[in-house]
Amino acid sequence: METILIVCAVIVTVTFVALSVQAILTLRQVRHTAKAVEFLALNADGKLTDLDPVIGAVKQVSGAVASGWFKLAQTVYGLFTGK
């Protein structure tokens, strides 16, 4: 009976050590990822303001698509194609 308890204790100890090592490695990777995200967030501000004209153009095109002219063109096209 003592042998079984010793074997179980050894297995539990080895499992705990392996779990601890894995947790440490995971936390190190999380720290590295957090630093990279922080760096990206600090440097992205200037880059995102450069995209304002593109975003404005996309809004303009989407507004044109949703307008009545586009719906009229779809209706006329549907009449000619039979859809």
Q: Which ranges of the chain have pLDDT less than 70?
A: 65-66, 68-69, 82-83
Which tens digit of pLDDT belongs to each residue from 26-46? 999 999 999 999 998 888 777
Average per-residue pLDDT for the chain: 85
Which letter does DSSP use for residue 83 in this model? -
| Per-residue buried b or exposed e for 10-49, using 16+ beta carbons within 10 Å of the residue's own CB | eeeeeeeeeeeeeeeeeeeeeeeeeeeeeeeeeeeeeeee
CA distance 20 to 33: 20
In the chain, domain spans: 1-50, 52-83
Which letter, b or e, does each residue of 67-77 get, where b requires 16 or more Cβ atoms within 10 Å of its Cβ? Answer: eeeeeeeeeee
